[in-house]
């Protein structure tokens, strides 16, 4: 197996199932009932795979019972068995519900899940039995504010979670709750279908739903895909879900040996994103997509301490925000291989060092500047992902600019919780420690490369 252990699990074992519905006795019934339900729903499952708790790195998982070859179909789920806003017990009633265009777009699905979760006669009852109880969901949205602010200090995640919680409560009160009150005749009860249950289902959607890619670039609504959501995640996955006309199929993307766990991937996600959405992290350097976000506000605050060293600085900051949508909250991403936000980074360090007259000329003739390919520092041989590798930074930045970037990286290092690099005890502390230490290693790599450049 390529990965094992709780730090690599999609859904780490954070608690014991203690609710009435999830006693050990009931838990032993869940899997057989789900297998019977999948057979009834005509899911096609390879005899080479086994759904089990034993041998999985998390609550449930899928194991290979036999050697599996690349491109073999592991299972297929008919589209008629997907659970989403247009395929649920209350789909006709949800059709007229108006969602906030600027909101999550999840309200209809969450209401559907709330209804099916509390409906003992639901068609999806055997599937809904797999919804992890509140004792097992542990995304940061369920952490106390003290824990979030302390353990996640410097990562930017605590602020993002607070914004999520505000949006969740707003959508519940303004959209979901009025629908619940108007549809008590369906079986809704505001004392049962309350904000706590809404948050529980939000966590379920965050960690278990899938979104179908669209050719036009639009975002499709999330759907729940029974069995596919049992697979755990690692960055170097061995299977992936393919969306076909009549079904969704899980395909092996490499050979899988007998006894190995079958892993899906949820995209090229950093540990910050994984902890935020799914409640887990991957240890450094297993997550090849891990990043550190460097807000422009941090770069600007470091520059402001260097008085009179950057001509017409405030005017440039305003212009970048107004004309290029690079406001102070915009984050530049730095990954294991270098600076990922290459185009934005290059623009930033083209504008900031400009002398006043040069900047005024640029503002008036920016179209001509943007189409000028004569820059001797043009990185024509950068790879297709537009990554500025650490080794290429000296070709783009002078000494002063490299010093600025080094000071920014050091500032971010100093912003983390002072004890996080020393503690690795407890579940939440452990995941926060893994998140922070991974980000620190990326920043340290950046500083080392910048320092080596200065000496060369």
Give the burial class of 380: count Cβ atoms within 10 A of its Cβ; 0-12 exposed, 13-18 middle, 19 or more buried: exposed
pLDDT at position 57:
62
Strands (E), 30-79: 44-45, 49-52, 61-64, 73-78
pLDDT one digit per residue (tens) for the chain, 456 residues: 233 333 333 444 333 333 334 445 466 788 999 999 999 999 999 999 999 887 666 678 999 999 999 999 999 999 999 999 999 999 999 998 987 766 788 999 999 999 999 999 999 999 999 888 887 888 999 999 999 999 999 999 999 999 999 999 999 999 999 999 999 999 999 999 999 999 999 999 999 999 998 877 677 899 999 999 999 988 889 999 999 999 999 999 999 999 999 999 888 899 999 999 999 899 888 899 999 999 999 999 999 987 667 899 999 999 999 999 999 999 999 999 999 999 999 999 999 999 999 999 998 886 555 545 444 444 444 444 478 998 888 788 999 999 999 999 999 999 986 555 445 445 899 999 999 999 999 999 999 988 875 555
CA 356, CA 86: separation in Å to the nearest integer? 57
Cα angle 172-177-183, degrees, rounded to a multiple of 5:
145
Q: What pLDDT shows up at residue 259?
A: 95
- What is the spatial distance between Cα 198 and Cα 169, in angstroms, rounded to a whole number? 9
Size (the chain), residues = 456
Give the relative orientation of helices 195-208 and 271-278 as an angle to the nearest 10 degrees: 140
> For residue 220, is the peptide bond before it cis, meaning its omega torsion is within 30 degrees of 0?
no
pLDDT at residue 29, rounded to an integer: 83
Distances (CA, A) of 274 to 206, 267, 436: 10, 10, 13
Domains and CATH numbers, the chain: 6-267 (3.90.1410.10), 291-455 (3.90.1420.10)
For residue 314, what are its two tokens?
Answer: 């405030």
What pLDDT is attached to residue 6? 33
Cβ atoms < 10 Å from Cβ of 444: 13
Cβ contact 254:243 at 8 Å: no
Res 396: pLDDT: 85
| DSSP-based three-state secondary structure for 322 | helix
Which structure tokens are listed for 366?
Answer: 């920016």
Side-by-side strand order, sheet with 44-45:
44-45, 73-78, 247-252, 239-243
CB neighbour list of residue 201: distance below 8 Å, 6 or more residues apart: 110, 113, 114, 117
Tell me which H or E stretch contains 332: strand 331-335
Greatest Cα pair distance, the chain, in angstroms, is 77
**Phi and psi of 62, rounded to 5°?**
-120, 130
Residue from 5, 10, 56 nearest 269 by CA: 10
296-304 vs 313-324: helix axis angle to the nearest 10? 170
């Amino acid at each position: 197996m390529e990965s094992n252990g709780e730090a690599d699990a999609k859904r780490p074992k954070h608690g014991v199932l203690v609710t009435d519905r999830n006693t050990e006795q009931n838990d032993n019934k869940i899997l057989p009932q789900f297998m019977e339900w999948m057979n009834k729903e005509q899911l096609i499952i390879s005899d080479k795979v086994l759904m089990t708790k034993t041998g999985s790195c998390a609550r449930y998982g899928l194991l290979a019972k036999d050697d599996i070859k690349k491109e073999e179909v592991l299972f297929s789920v008919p589209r008629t068995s997907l659970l989403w806003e247009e395929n649920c017990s209350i789909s006709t009633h949800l059709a007229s519900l108006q969602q906030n265009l600027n909101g999550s777009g999840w309200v209809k699905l969450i209401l559907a899940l709330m209804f099916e979760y509390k409906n003992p006669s639901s068609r999806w009852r055997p599937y809904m039995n797999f919804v992890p109880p509140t004792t097992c969901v542990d995304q940061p949205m369920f952490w106390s504010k003290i824990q979030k602010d302390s353990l996640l200090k410097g990562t930017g995640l605590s602020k993002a979670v607070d914004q999520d919680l505000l949006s969740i409560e707003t959508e519940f009160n303004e959209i979901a709750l009025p629908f619940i009150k108007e549809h008590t005749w369906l079986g809704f009860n505001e004392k049962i279908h309350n904000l706590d249950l809404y948050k529980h289902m939000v966590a379920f959607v965050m960690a278990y739903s899938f979104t179908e890619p669209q050719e036009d670039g639009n975002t499709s609504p999330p759907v729940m895909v029974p069995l596919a959501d049992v697979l755990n995640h690692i960055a170097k996955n061995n299977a992936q879900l393919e969306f076909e006309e009549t079904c969704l199929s899980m395909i092996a993307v490499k050979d899988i040996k007998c006894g190995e766990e079958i892993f899906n991937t949820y995209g090229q996600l950093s540990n910050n994103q994984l902890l935020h959405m799914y409640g887990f992290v991957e240890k450094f350097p297993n997550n090849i997509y891990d990043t550190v976000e460097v807000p422009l506000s941090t770069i600007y605050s470091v520059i402001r301490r260097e008085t009179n060293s950057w001509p017409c600085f405030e005017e440039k900051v305003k212009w970048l925000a107004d004309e290029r949508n690079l406001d102070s909250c915009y984050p530049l991403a730095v990954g294991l291989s270098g600076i990922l936000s290459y185009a934005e980074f290059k623009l930033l360090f083209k504008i900031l060092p400009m002398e006043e007259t040069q900047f005024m000329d640029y503002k008036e003739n920016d179209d001509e500047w943007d189409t000028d390919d004569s820059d001797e520092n043009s990185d024509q041989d950068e790879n297709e992902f537009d990554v500025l590798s650490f080794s290429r930074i000296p070709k783009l930045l002078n000494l002063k600019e490299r010093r600025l970037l080094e000071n920014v990286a050091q500032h971010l290092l100093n912003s983390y919780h002072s004890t996080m690099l020393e503690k690795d005890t407890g579940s939440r502390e452990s995941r926060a420690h893994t998140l922070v230490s991974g980000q620190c290693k990326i920043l340290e790599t950046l500083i080392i490369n910048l320092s080596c450049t200065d000496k060369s």
